[in-house]
Amino acid sequence: LLVELRKNRDVKRARKGSGPTYAKGVTRAKVLDARDRLMQALDDFQFRADADLSALLHEELMACVDMYEALKAREGALDFLDLLVRARDLMKGNAEVRGHFQRRFRRIFVDEFQDTDPLQAELLLLLAADNPAETRWQQVIPVAGKLFIVGDPKQSIYRFRRADVDVYRRVCEMLIERGAKPVELRKSFRSVSNIQHLVNTAFEPLMDGDPDTHQARYVALEPSRPDHPGQPSAVVLPVPSPYGQRFIAAREIERCLPDAVGAYVDWLVKKSGWTVTERHAHTRRVPLEARHICILFRRFVSYGEDITRAYVEALEPRGVKHLLVGGKAFHDRDEIETLRAALMAIEWPDDQLSVFATLRGALFAIGDEELLEYHRIASRFHPFKIPESLPSGLEPIRDGLTLLRTLHARRNHRPVSDTITALLDHTRAHVGFVLRPGGEQALANVLHVSELARQYELEGGMSFRGFVEALREAAQGGQAAEAPILEEGSDGVRLMTVHKAKGLEFPVVTPADITARLTPWDASRHVDLERGLCALRIGGWSPKDLNDHKALEITREQKEGERVAYVAATRARDLLVIPAVGDEP
């Protein structure tokens, strides 16, 4: 209750009122001072209570870790972290293995080194060691000329995967101390000169190289491609209606920005007449098409809502092709809801709502009048209770119910994916889905359900009902199933996260979701390599080591947010479109 009181907005942001007197014999200053002391006391209490509770939970939940390890051992399975830890342990603890691989690899070239976590860095240094007996990676002296690493700390954005600027900095400093030669690569062969000038101006003041906050040191980009005359390379796209009653409001920005981006993309593709270059032919200019454009997001889901949906709905009515790459709202897509209803109707023929939804949905597309007429005659929608004679025009309903009955009878005698394929083939759903707006993505999503079914059976799933229930539970529980990534040759505007886009480039880039916070509300972790410590929030409670470094960790998260923005801006080759909000209404 005390913690809830501390979080109460009415208490935290209470109006101060006016005048020197709060009540008879009580000054307002005295009351405000008492309130401030109360809030400080509540903060102190929460920090201590969180530390106690997280410590107790850590001990309680170790049994779950033991059970997880036992389950993996029983199944003969390893997760990705296991692979790293065991590979490191094998290299460190077995001199014969370590010597074999040190002799086997004469040269080691590592790209994107800023994405390397401490375990991977330890493995690399052990492989490069000139002393086969050395097992302490911090003491390794690499063989001259054996280890070559390339990295850009300004693009270090995988802190949540243990890849931190601090790891990159420590390893680089250690290698330089032991004879490695550093070379700065400044020239960028991607963006035109004006985009690079904009990026340098925006990010150089932010990236100060502070080792405490794990910020990268800025190295200015040098141009290699000239600007194209008669065509802008940077465009500021105004947010049309960012104001609430009096002030700028995030909700208003989120409401109107997707349509503004959709309208501008539509104009770029259909009316601008602009040209761009492509990576495989960077000297030849081609007309700008939808496939040249990428809309980048910091996140796909906010408070359980798919924020990409508004952008998709802004592109679809304008007839602009688009591809959602790695979307997280997979189970909420219309085509997935349609297929899920059909699978439920196959498993539970008595579920009239699912049967009705299947007949009326995109698979059969039977109209309301025909369905109403059929219900008047049959009194129900049941695959096993079809009237013998039906008026002309109701045959599609008979065919649909007959198909559901047939698939129900065979569902447990063949793989789940075969039932899904039979349903799609009989209804010619492939054609129907691909012809709708955003059809390539819709079809890819539907086919991905068959892949999920195959994964379900490979992991020990035994029945059609089990898969349908798993699919339903995933939708109800808000699980973020990864939608399939379409092949590179697919046409359309890409919608993807900055993390997905890292390492890629696009002729035209526009960052979206400008209301996303760069700084988290609370610190999530504190890592101390010297002490071998990783303090994490658990169950919403922070251990003492994390609380003691809360301000520093929040600043480090903010610095990574700045690097995410840098990565987004540097994906553009020819045009960077930046949504912006003015200072006055």
Q: What pLDDT digit, counting tens, does each position of 492-502 carry?
A: 899 999 998 98
Half-sphere exposure of 550 (CA within 13 A, CB side): 14
8 A C-beta contact, residue 326 and residue 310: no
Mean pLDDT computed over every residue of the chain: 88
Given pLDDT bands bounded at 50, 70 and 90, which one contains residue 69? very high
Rounded Cα–Cα distance for residues 76 and 525 (Å): 31
Q: What's the pTM?
A: 0.78
8 A C-beta contact, residue 501 and residue 571: yes
Residue 483 has pLDDT above 50, yes or no: no
Q: Count the neighbouring beta carbons within 10 Å of the beta carbon of residue 584.
A: 4
What's the gap between Cα 475 and its chain centre? 18
8 A C-beta contact, residue 553 and residue 525: yes
- 34-48, 100-114, 415-429, 520-534: lowest mean pLDDT where? 520-534
Given pLDDT bands bounded at 50, 70 and 90, which one contains residue 583? low
Rounded Cα–Cα distance for residues 398 and 378 (Å): 11
| Dihedral sign for Cα atoms in the order 58, 63, 64, 65 | positive
8 A C-beta contact, residue 159 and residue 113: no
Rounded Cα–Cα distance for residues 56 and 51 (Å): 9
How is 413-468 classified by DSSP, letter by letter?
A: GS-HHHHHHHHHHHHTHHHHHHTSTTHHHHHHHHHHHHHHHHHHHHTT---HHHHH
Quick one: pLDDT at residue 17? 78
- 23-27, 298-302, 377-381, 451-455: lowest mean pLDDT where? 298-302
* pLDDT per residue as tens digits for the range 251-262: 889 999 999 999
* pLDDT per residue as tens digits for the range 458-470: 888 889 999 999 8
CA dihedral 114, 115, 116, 118 (to 10 degrees): 90
**Phi/psi at 310 (nearest 5 deg)?**
-65, -35
Residue 485 has pLDDT above 50, yes or no: no
Quick one: pLDDT at residue 473? 85
Quick one: pLDDT at residue 258? 94
8 A C-beta contact, residue 526 and residue 546: yes
Quick one: pLDDT at residue 3? 85
**What's the rounded mean pLDDT across residues 560-585?**
88
**What's the rounded mean pLDDT across residues 99-107?**
94
Given pLDDT bands bounded at 50, 70 and 90, which one contains residue 420? very high
Q: Is 288 exposed, middle or buried (0-12, 13-18, 19+ CB in 10 A)?
A: buried
8 A C-beta contact, residue 121 and residue 128: no
Rounded Cα–Cα distance for residues 290 and 259 (Å): 16
Given pLDDT bands bounded at 50, 70 and 90, which one contains residue 9? confident
Given pLDDT bands bounded at 50, 70 and 90, which one contains residue 346? very high
Quick one: pLDDT at residue 198? 95
Quick one: pLDDT at residue 488? 40
8 A C-beta contact, residue 416 and residue 457: yes
Given pLDDT bands bounded at 50, 70 and 90, which one contains residue 21? confident
Rounded Cα–Cα distance for residues 134 and 150 (Å): 25
Rounded Cα–Cα distance for residues 164 and 170 (Å): 10
Given pLDDT bands bounded at 50, 70 and 90, which one contains residue 329? low
Quick one: pLDDT at residue 128? 94
Q: Cα angle vertex 163, ends 529, 221, to 5°?
A: 120
Q: How far apart are the first and last CA of the chain?
A: 42
3-class SS of residue 301 = strand
* pLDDT per residue as tens digits for the range 131-140: 999 999 889 9
| Ramachandran assignment for 156, one of left (phi > 0), alpha (psi -120 to 50 degrees), beta (any other) | beta
Residue 95 has pLDDT above 90, yes or no: yes
Quick one: pLDDT at residue 478? 54
Q: Is 79 exposed, middle or buried (0-12, 13-18, 19+ CB in 10 A)?
A: exposed
Rounded Cα–Cα distance for residues 68 and 272 (Å): 57
Percent of the chain residues past pLDDT 90, beyond the cut: 55
Quick one: pLDDT at residue 479? 52
**What's the rounded mean pLDDT across residues 122-149?**
92
Residue 484 has pLDDT above 70, yes or no: no
8 A C-beta contact, residue 521 and residue 560: no
**What's the rounded mean pLDDT across residues 9-35?**
84
Quick one: pLDDT at residue 490? 55
Quick one: pLDDT at residue 437? 67
Q: Cα angle vertex 520, ends 514, 522, to 5°?
A: 160
Quick one: pLDDT at residue 289? 94
Structure-token pair, residue 103: 């002799």
Residue 400 has pLDDT above 50, yes or no: yes
